[in-house]
Amino acid sequence: MKISSYTNYITVDTDLYLRLATVEDAPFLYRLIDAHRAYLREWLPFIDFSQSVLDTKAYLRAVTDSKNTAEQVYVILYQKSIAGIIGFKEIDHVNRRAEIGYWLSGDLQGQGIMRRSCSALLQYAFGEMGLNRIQIKTGVGNIRSSNIPKKLGFTLEGVQRDGEYLNGRFHDLEVYSLLQREWLQQE
């Protein structure tokens, strides 16, 4: 993995990169969301609030604002096309922790793209950012998503009951965590 802060890229592999998101990504991300709306809606509450490019633009404006220190969002570039999003949520600089959130286009599932992207982001978090704890929350029953932290050595801490309101009802979330020292032991 190679990190270039000048270009805001994280090279994951020869065909896979993470790039800090910009407002200019809105049309591409919105088209991806809209094309895979039914698939994404099953596990992501924000999908119903993404009804136009303007909604996606507003989100990107908020997360790329220079005053925002709690989120860091990257577009996933797979074979030179935007394939999804990954990033840090709820960054707590004092306690050196954050949560990773992600979504990937439905047609690209099962190729290891998200696992490799998460691995690169973990390396960046524990190395460059100096974080100590990363957590990932996945919907109970979202096997594809929960396989990612499992394969990366995270520990299932428990279930956050009614942790997310989705599609008209509350859903439980599995909470996984990984500490810097555990990550370093894996390398």
Q: Count the alpha carbons within 13 Å of 23 in the hemisphere toward its beta carbon.
A: 9
DSSP of 13-48: ETTEEEEE--GGGHHHHHHHHHHTHHHHHTT-GGGG
- Tell me which residue has tokens 């998503």: 145
> What is the pLDDT at residue 77?
97
Q: Are 130 and 92 in contact (CB under 8 A)?
A: no
Q: What is the CATH number of the domain that holds 48?
A: 3.40.630.30
Q: pTM to 2 decimals? A: 0.92
Cα 107 to the center of its chain, rounded Å: 17
> What is the pLDDT at residue 48?
87
Count up the domains in the chain and report the number.
Answer: 1
**In terms of DSSP bridges, do strands 16-20 and 155-166 run parallel, antiparallel, or are they unpaired?**
unpaired
Average pLDDT for runs of 10 along the chain of length 187: 59 94 96 92 88 94 92 95 96 96 93 96 94 97 95 97 94 97 89
Q: Count the alpha carbons within 13 Å of 39 in the hemisphere toward its beta carbon.
A: 13
> What is the pLDDT at residue 45?
86
Torsions phi, psi for 73 (to 5 deg):
-115, 135
| Contacts for 72 with CB less than 8 Å, ≥ 6 apart | 20, 63, 87, 88, 91
Domain span at residue 48 reads 2-186
Q: How many angstroms separate the CA atoms of 99 and 97, rounded?
A: 7
Q: How many angstroms separate the CA atoms of 62 and 23, rounded?
A: 9
